[in-house]
Copies of this chain bind each other. A is one copy, B any other.
């Protein structure tokens, strides 16, 4: 493990015996009993557990378990294969994260670096536990701050006419850096279906409105014209339907008749950065499960 930053090093050291299991499957009796007994047999202690069933009579079951074991690293393969076996029996989709393995994140940015800055700051404070592997931007604006943290910054000019070439370069970089999660921090460019398909439920976007209000371009201008009394922000997974992907988090801030479009933009920024950071944090902490076009977010 190379050092990321003191806060994250500290977090990883403290949590090196922990893992997180995310499961979804058709509901049936005995799931919790089977998994908790499996973990007990591996000398693992459950430290957090949350579950949800869409409909107790005939639904889909979702589970998040955080467990701790003194010999986690040496037993990793055994635990994984035990879970695999159970997963087949119950027809489960599952992911297992060991906290000694840091997820890699790419941030896509543009001219307004408020969200980028917030992600960097929360990462520096140890709130976003990840390796920010690279930042890709179609402007030079954020280079200094990104590089001051020792993070590679790639300037790839982009516009809709050269989308294919741009995405090819981006995908190459993402593969080289073995990225797990992509965050669009006000990137402002539409991604092609091919790009989205390469990272299903692994691209988080921030939209500067309370979706589904003001889908599409210029939400602040339209919010101003409609005379709404709060403006919002929405972090969501990107799908092929623009602004229609599963919502992770939303919040709003009060405005009034004195606030012009420029004021809405300024106020909006303060809420966007928080809504995006929370969405990213919850994804990195394996709290978010996608079901149909909605999310289950475990506290």
Complex CA distance for A45 and B43, rounded to whole angstroms: 25
Please determine whether B52 and A257 come into contact, CB atoms closer than 8 angstroms. yes
Query: What distance in Å separates the Cβ of A143 from its nearest Cβ neighbour in chain B?
Result: 13
A210 to chain B, nearest CB (A): 6
Interface stretch, picked from A73-81, A100-108, A174-182, A245-253, is A245-253
Complex alpha-carbon distance, A294 and B212, angstroms = 21
The residue in A29, A43, A258 that gathers the most chain B C-beta atoms within 10 A of its C-beta is A29
Interface pair B48/A37, CB less than 8 Å apart: no
Cβ 8 A contact of A247, one of B30, B40, B49, B227:
B227
Interface-central residue, A56, A144, A252, A297, by most chain B CB under 10 Å: A56
CA separation between A205 and B144, bound complex, in Å?
A: 31
Cβ-based interface call for A50 (8 A): yes
A9 at the interface (CB under 8 A from B): no
Asked if A257 and B227 sit within 8 Å, CB to CB, the answer is: no
**A230 and B210 in contact, given A32-B32, A50-B49, A127-B266 (Cβ under 8 angstroms):** yes
The complex places the Cα of A148 from the Cα of B143 at a distance, in Å, of: 13
A212 and B45 alpha carbons, distance in the complex (Å) = 36
Within the complex, what minimum Cβ distance (angstroms) separates A107 from chain B? 17
**Residues of chain B with a CB closer than 8 A to A53's CB:** 47
A295 contacts B257, CB within 8 Å? Answer: yes
Interfacial chain B residues near A28, Cβ < 8 Å: 45
Chain A positions near chain B (C-beta within 8 angstroms): 27-30, 32-33, 36-37, 39-40, 43-53, 56, 68, 114, 117, 121, 125-127, 144, 148, 210-214, 226-230, 232, 246-252, 256-258, 266, 269-270, 274, 293-297, 299
Q: List 30 A-B contacts (CB under 8 A).
A: A27-B45, A32-B32, A32-B40, A33-B33, A33-B36, A36-B37, A37-B37, A45-B56, A48-B52, A49-B49, A52-B258, A56-B68, A114-B121, A117-B121, A125-B266, A126-B266, A144-B148, A210-B230, A210-B252, A212-B214, A212-B226, A213-B213, A226-B293, A227-B247, A227-B294, A228-B247, A228-B250, A229-B247, A229-B250, A230-B252
